[in-house]
Every structure is written in C-alpha cells, then in structure tokens.
Structure 1
Amino acid sequence: MSARPEHRDTGDPAPVQREVLPGVPTGVELEQVIGKQVRALRLASGLSVGDMAAKIGISKAMLSKIENAQTSCSLSTLARLAAGLDVPVTSLFRGADTEREAVYTPGGHGAVIVGRGTRVGHHYELLGALRGQHKRLEPVLVTLTEASEVFPLFQHAGTELLYMLEGVMIYGHGDSEYTLRPGDSLLLDGEGAHGPNELVRLPIRFLAITAYPDNHAEG
C-alpha cells in the first residue's frame, strides 16, 4: 500500500466560490475581465510576470493562468493582486459591470437650444446630456456672430466651465470681468450671475459645460 502523498502548499489559490461576488458576472467572462485588468495594470507598473508573482506571493505559473483567464481567483488572491498593483479590488472588475451609456454627437448635429437667451446671431447647440443619478453634465457649444448691446445673464445651481475656441469676449461673473481668448478657460460658480459683457472680436465660439448637483431639478 503506497503512502498517502504529503500535502504541500504551493501558494496557488483555491477556486473562488462564485456566490460571494454578488452583482459581478460569473464564468469565463469574469475570468477574462480580471485577467485583462491584471495584465494591463501589471504592465503599467513595469513589472514582469515573475516580478509580480514574487511580489504578491503566488507562483509565476498561476499568475500567467490568471492573466490568460485559465483559472479562477480566490478572494484572498484578488486582494493580493490589488495590493500588489496598488489599486482597489474593484479595479480588477472594471468592464464587468453593465453597459455604460454614452452620447455621440457628430459636428453640427447637436440639438439647438431655444429660449436660453437666444436671439439673432446667438446660437446654442446642446452636444448631449446624460440623465440619472450622478449624470448631470450639460455641454453646450455657443456661437455668437452678431454684436449686441444687451446680453442675457445666467444663474443656476452647479459649476460651469467655459473654454474659448474662437474670437475674443469680455465675460462677467458677479462683480468681476474676464477677457477670454482662444485657449482660455473660466471655471465659475453657477450661482453667481454670469454672461458676456462685451463681444470684442466676432465670430465667437466657446464651449460651456455645466455640472449640476444631484438634487438639481430637471428643467
């Protein structure tokens, strides 16, 4: 009768129990996502497979299997990987969550905003909007082609970023004025009354991006 082989701890992880990862896809998809992220983060850190394996205390062969989606990781190994890569454990699952929304707007095809101080020679083009929790960003391309003596003043909750693309204008915010030229930007508190004070050189184009707070009511 042969002797029972002695158990040896190789440092290789035991398969993970899938049910302890609620909300995360299981099976080959999850293994592929983790492997892809581990490899990308390892390469970004400038570590070889051998260096990374030694750093976190698993075998080189096991790390290679993880990166090639040929095995499952235990939770303890995931924690080791994250610590060795200096990232949160959640970073290893990036891309395994539900599909994210995106809005693509070809040049010149944004929705025209009417009634926001719009007049002849003042054009406001909405470049897309995401709605829902934590999705309160409104990018607008503003084009001013005719001089005006009176300008609309805007006041709203949130923060607004102006990025000048063409022309020159003097922009007011509260009691202050700023001369904006191409490449200049102005980040302002939307609660303060703001708007163009003087159109110095036409045509004028600038990007206005407003970040509304989560409790901002839909208009």
Structure 2
Amino acid sequence: MTEDETTGDELVVAGGIGEALGAVIAERVRDFRQDRGWTVGRLADESGVSKSMLSKIENAQASPSLMTLVRLSEALTVPVTAFFRGLSEEQDMVFVKAGKGLDIHHKGSGPGHRYQMLGAMRAPHDSLEPMLVTLTDRSEVFPLYQHAGTELIFMISGKMEYSYGSSRYVLEPGDSMQFVGEVMHGPGELITLPIQFIAVKSVHPGG
C-alpha cells in the first residue's frame, strides 16, 4: 500500500521555513535516488510512497511527513537527518512570526492537536528542532516515540501526564523535562486542556 497526497500526513510548504525545508529535502531525496540509479517508480516500490507524492517531494511542492521520511530513509539506507543536510547553508537564521510556524500533522493525533515547527537549524556540531505543540482535544491513544539525541520540554499552559520509559510525570505550567530521546516517550493523559508546550530536539548530524 502506498502513501499518497490525500492522506493529510505531510508537511505543507507555505513560505519561510517551509520553503527552505521543502527545497533541501527535495534535493536530498533526488540525489540519493539518482546515486542509486533508481527511477521514481523504483523508489516508490521500495518505500511504499506513491509516485505522485514522490514527484511532489522532489519538485518541492510538498514536504514529506515524518513517517514518509522514515520510509524513504529505510529504502535509501540513509539516516533521516541526511535529508536535512545543507539547510544551514541556505538559511543561517530562522525568524517565525507568531502563529506562522510550519504545521506538521501526525498520523493518529486527530483534530485539536497542533504541531508547529519553529525552526530546523543544522550546524556541523548538532541540530536543534524547536516545536510548539498545542493540544485542544483529548485523543484515545497517543503514540510513544523515540529518536536520536536529547529533547527538552517546557510547559506553557494546561496539565498533562507525560510518559518516559516506565515512568509517568505530571507537567504543569513552568515545569520542564530534559531526556535522552532513545527511550520511548510521549504525552499520556491530558488532564487540563488546552495544553501548550515547547519541545526542542537536539540531534548530532548523522544520528
């Protein structure tokens, strides 16, 4: 089964950081595919991502979702972070006006859960990925995640239970957590809505 542009599980390229991300990802995906001598159809078969979506990605008309990036990285045998290499060469500073962050839609999150990327700076030593997360509706199940590097969470409003490994922590405004990303983690019970927090990931290149 392939993923196409109608799933809603994609980053929408809409100026500023969206254009920068879209252009860099487009070039990286195309380069990795051509290095292997693959056609778009071959990459579609290997990754399970539709040819129409791949065409949009390689032409910077849409950026792939996090799940699509994982599928492409597995098919091309490169780390997910490889798709972002070169971003800092084009954009050394990111300024995002209030409410203008790049919206990211996660599968299974449902309506009322908003993820806004506030930047994606890449540097020789590491990379920072700040995101504003807004939860305005309860979800039946929140998927747990794991990733390379570390993550910092700072609560702005609301109250929630956050899972980290086998532990549970109740977070309220002003609370913060910093942890190693390889351990499974993610929101658990949403106690007081709306909930808003900032999540910042720090990842070493190639990690």
TM superposition score normalised by structure 1: 0.51
Q: CA deviation at 1:116?
A: 5.9
Aligned length: 117
Please name the residue that 2:146 is paired with.
155
More strand by share: 2
Among 121, 127, 140, the alignment partner of 1:136 is 127
Matched residues in 2 for 1:208 and 1:138: separation?
A: 8
Q: Is the 8 A contact 2:110 2:139 kept in 1?
A: no
Structure 2 distance, partners of 1:192, 1:167, is 24
Residue in structure 2 matching 1:170, options 158, 161, 181: 161
Q: How does 1:15-94 map to 2 (within 5 A)?
A: none
5+ long unaligned stretches in structure 1: 1-99
Kindly provide the amino acid, as one letter, of the partner of residue 195 in structure 1: G
Percent identity for Structure 1 against Structure 2: 50
Aligned partners of 2:119 and 2:129 also within 8 Å: yes
Answering whether residue 93 of structure 2 is matched by residue 105 of structure 1, we say no
Q: How big is the shift at 1:143?
A: 0.4
Indicate conservation of the 8 Å contact 2:159/2:173, yes or no. yes
Q: Is the 8 A contact 2:109 2:142 kept in 1?
A: no
Alignment counterpart, residue 180 of structure 1, candidates 171, 178, 202: 171
CA-atom RMSD, angstroms?
A: 1.5
Q: Does 1:214 align with 2:205?
A: yes
* CA contact 2:156–2:174 (8 Å) conserved in 1: yes
CA gap of 1:163–1:138, structure 2 versus 1, over 3 A, is same
Report the Cα distance in structure 2 between the residues aligned to 1:181 and 1:148, rounded to whole angstroms.
19
- Structure 2: tracts of 5 or more residues without a match: 1-90
Map of 1:17 onto structure 2 = none
2:120 partner SS: coil
Establish whether residue 145 from structure 1 lines up as the match of residue 136 from structure 2: yes
Following the alignment from structure 1 to structure 2, what is the Cα–Cα distance between the partners of residues 101 and 148? Answer: 37
1:135 Cα deviation from its structure 2 partner: 4.2
Q: Which has the larger radius of gyration?
A: 1
Deviation per residue, 1:173-192 (Å, 9 max, x gap): 00111100000001111000
Q: Which amino acid is the alignment partner of residue 114 of structure 1?
A: H
CA shift, 1:117, in A, is: 5.0
Q: How many Å apart are 1:133 and its aligned residue?
A: 1.6
Whether 1:202 aligns to 2:193 is yes
The Cα offsets for residues 73-113 of structure 1, whole Å up to 9 and x where unpaired, read as: xxxxxxxxxxxxxxxxxxxxxxxxxxx92111111001011
State the TM-score, normalized to the length of structure 2: 0.54
Tell which has more relative contact order, 1 or 2 (C-alpha 8 A, sep 6+): 2
- The structural deviation recorded for 1:134 is 2.3
The answer (yes or no) to whether the contact 1:162–1:185 under 8 Å persists in 2 is yes
